[in-house]
Amino acid sequence: MQVRRGAGATYWGILVIAVVVTGLVTFSVTSGLSRITTPTTSNSNQALIDSLLSQNAQLQKELAAATQSSNSTFQGLNSVKIYQAVSAGVVTVQGTESSGGTNTTVLGSGFVVNFSQSDYVVTNYHVVRGVSGVTVTFQDGDAYPATVVGSDGYSDLAVLKVTAPASEFHPLQVVSSSQLVVGQPVAAIGNPFGLSGSMTVGIVSQLGRTISESLAGNFAIANVIQFSAPINPGNSGGPLLAADGAVVGITAATVVSSQGVGFAIPSDTILKELPSLVTTGVFGLHPFMGISTVDMNYQLAQLQKTNYTYGVLIENLTSGGPAQKAGLRVGTQSAVVAGQNYLIGGDIIVSVNGTKIVNGDSLSSYLAEYALAGQTVVLQIVRGGQVSTVDLVLGTRPPAPSA
Active site residues: 126, 156, 236
Alpha helices in 130-208, H assignment, sequence order: none
Alpha helices in 261-395, H assignment, sequence order: 267-280, 298-304, 322-325, 360-370
Distance from C-alpha of 255 to C-alpha of 260, rounded to nearest angstrom: 9
* 8 Å CB contact between 258 and 28: no
70 residue type, one letter: S
* 8 Å CB contact between 231 and 240: no
Distance from C-alpha of 210 to C-alpha of 265, rounded to nearest angstrom: 10
SS3 of residue 335 by DSSP = strand
Distance from C-alpha of 156 to C-alpha of 129, rounded to nearest angstrom: 10
Q: Which helix (H) or strand (E) holds 92?
A: strand 90-99
**HSE-CB of 19 using CA atoms within 13 angstroms:** 15
Distance from C-alpha of 348 to C-alpha of 388, rounded to nearest angstrom: 10
Q: Nearest 5 degrees, angle CA 167-CA 239-CA 219?
A: 130
- Given 3-state DSSP classes, what are the helix, strand and coil percentages for the chain, each rounded to the nearest 5? 20, 40, 40
* 8 Å CB contact between 370 and 92: no
39 residue type, one letter: P
* 8 Å CB contact between 108 and 5: yes
* 8 Å CB contact between 78 and 187: no
